Chain A
Amino acid sequence: MRRLPGPFPVGRYAKTLRDELRKRARVLLIGEVTNLRHSPKQSYFEIRDGEGAVPCTIWADELARLRLPEGALRDGAEVIVAGGPDYFPGSSTSSPDFSFRVTHLRLAGEGDLIARLEALRKQLRSEGLFELQKQLRRPRLPRTIGVVTAESGAARRDLLAGLARRGWEGTVIWAFAPVQDRRAAPAIAMAIQDLAARPEVEAIVVTRGGGSLADLWAFCDETLCRTVAMLRVPVVSAVGHERDSTLIDDVAAVACSTPTHAAEAAVPLDCLAARQSLERCALALRRAGEGAIGSRSRHLGALARGPARALQRERGKLNQKIREIRASSERGVADRAASQRRIGTVVLERARRRAAGADMEKRRESLHRVAVTLRAHEPERTLERGYALVEGGTAEPVTSAAAAAAAGEVKLRFADGRVRARTEGDVERET
């Protein structure tokens, strides 16, 4: 300590410090106006961004010369100030004070913000922060989603409408936060981190309605964007409208143009369509199962009936054969019988003819002898020899004396005719 210069009187050192600061180059700073207050001589405010702030002062007459629109310089306004550091050394009774002495001030234009945005975008891209979120798996059917948005606003309503159109009725955890002023970026970053810390949250939506780039500037905050990029839960950003491009869109897993689209990105699955698809799957499975069994059981049934059917067919054939054989057999027997009869007739005829040829003469002679013998025994031959035949009334032969006696009247038949005769007396017996 002994080697350090001094000790110097503090007032003199303070003035030296003021002089050194005033020598510094004048610069332009850009940031958001906060904590603005006025005194008769000066106006005081801070300009701030996500990384820090600088207290500023401007003389009242210099501010008046700027001819800013009424109310343009206000808390939350994005401004560009020109000036340099200054230091009020204080006095024996007043406190010292550091400030950035503003000599010129204007509201930041779109161009200023875009230039700043592009520089930051380039920086984050070079660090690979745009890709981290996009590599995360996004569940198609989350049960719980977190949403960071303003408590009142169309974005909330539109998001709910989008979810309803999806047929999704899970759990929404709302994290309401300011979405447009210097408090917005830290509040949004904290809300996102708190949501991501909850294990049930599967996706986070950050949304707000449209506005100027200055209005949406909170969503270009470097700290917020770095927070989002490093998160392990996918973030869906839907900030502003299609033409608005904020830095959070670049680092988020998905950037959407409207809250309605954000709902579809947070719940990629259309639950209504999914239910219908599932019903079709269930039907296809049922049909496949039943069809597999049905077709095979029909096939098996056909196979099972096969032997019986074949047997029936063979039995039919057999019966047919039997009928044919029987008919054929009957026809064969009849034919053979007829044939045999014909053969027999022919044989007999032949035999008869053979036999007839040799014996005919003998038979004729024998027949003649028989005829002669028979003729010799005829009654007429006896009558011709003188015998008479006694006949009764009815021409029956009377063969006894008793019958003749009893008849009383008889006929005597001779060879040449009959005569009537009367019997008288008793029978005279032959002795």
Chain B
Amino acid sequence: MNERPESYEAAVERLEEIIDRLDSGQAGLRETLDLCKEGKTLVTFCAAELDEVGEGLKELQLDDLAAKLDAAPEVG
């Protein structure tokens, strides 16, 4: 699983699989290193996802967004 996870849930699910596999002690050296590398990528992804919702609550109003949309010039 080298591509970017499709969601936080998918990343966490895969991460749990990796930890279980590593905990089993059945992975060889190459597999262990590959799993660790993949796991670190997933941890980084999940941390970034958490950061996205951890830097201060943003409150918007639908009416304001609609007004901005109406005020925006038409493209083309």
B61–A285 touching, CB < 8 Å: no
Stretch of A66-74, A127-135, A243-251, A275-283 with 4 or more beta carbons under 8 angstroms from chain B: A275-283
Evaluate whether A269 and B52 lie within 8 angstroms (CB atoms) in the complex, with A278-B43, A284-B19, A285-B22 already known. Answer: no
Q: B57: which A residues are within 8 A, CB to CB?
A: 160, 163-164, 168-172
Pick from A141, A171, A288: contact of B58, CB below 8 A.
A171
Q: How far does the alpha carbon of A170 sit from the alpha carbon of B8 in the complex, in Å?
A: 15
A271: which of B22, B40, B50, B58 is its contact (CB, 8 Å)?
A: B50
- A271 and B62 form a contact (CB under 8 A): no
Asked if B73 is at the interface (CB within 8 A of a chain A CB), the reply is no
**A: number of interface residues (CB 8 Å):** 39
| In the complex, B70 has a CB within 8 A of chain A | no
A173 x B60 contact (CB < 8 A): yes
Q: Which residue, of A160, A167, A284, has the highest number of chain B Cβ atoms within 10 A?
A: A284
> CA separation between A289 and B23, bound complex, in Å?
11
A172 to chain B, nearest CB (A): 5
Decide: B19 and A170 in contact? CB cutoff 8 A.
no
Q: Is B3's beta carbon under 8 Å from chain A?
A: no
Known: A284-B19, A289-B36. A170 touches B58 (CB 8 A): yes
> Which of A16-24, A56-64, A91-99, A191-199 forms part of the interface with chain B?
A191-199
Find chain B residues with CB under 8 A from A198 CB: 65
User: What is the CA–CA distance of A296 and B29 in the complex, to the nearest angstrom?
Assistant: 8
Partner of A172, one of B12, B52, B58, B65: B58
B58: nearest chain-A partner, CB-CB: A171
Least CB separation from A277: chain B residue: B12
Residue in A142, A288, A293 whose beta carbon sits within 8 Å of that of B22 in the complex: A288
CB pair A169 B53 closer than 8 Å = yes
Interface hits, B58-74 → A, CB 8 Å: 58-63, 65-66
Residues B53 and A141 in contact, CB atoms below 8 Å apart: yes
List CB contacts (< 8 Å) of A261-297 with chain B: 267, 269, 271, 274-275, 278, 281-282, 284-286, 288-289, 292-293, 296
Q: Quick one: which of A141, A173, A175, A285 contacts B39, CB cutoff 8 A?
A: A285
Q: Which of B29, B43, B62 has the most CB of A within 10 A?
A: B62
| Bound-state Cα–Cα, A141 to B18, Å | 21
A116 / chain B contacts, CB cutoff of 8 Å: none
In Å, the complex CA distance between A176 and B58 comes to 16
* Complex alpha-carbon distance, A141 and B47, angstroms: 12
Would A167 and B62 count as touching, CB distance under 8 A?
Answer: no
Q: How far is it, in angstroms, between the C-alpha of A140 and the C-alpha of B53 when the chains are bound? A: 12
Q: Name the one of B40, B50, B62 contacting A173, with C-beta atoms under 8 angstroms.
A: B62
Q: A140-B9, A170-B57 are in contact. Are A274 and B50 (CB under 8 A)?
A: yes
> Nearest B residue to A164 by beta-carbon distance?
B57
A286 to B56, CA, bound (A): 30
| Measured CA separation A168–B40 after assembly (Å) | 23
Residues of B within 8 A of A (CB): 7-9, 12, 15, 18-19, 22-23, 27, 29, 32-33, 35-36, 39-40, 43, 46-47, 49-50, 52-63, 65-66
Can you give 5 A-B contacts (C-beta < 8 A)? Answer: A267-B53, A281-B39, A282-B43, A286-B36, A289-B32
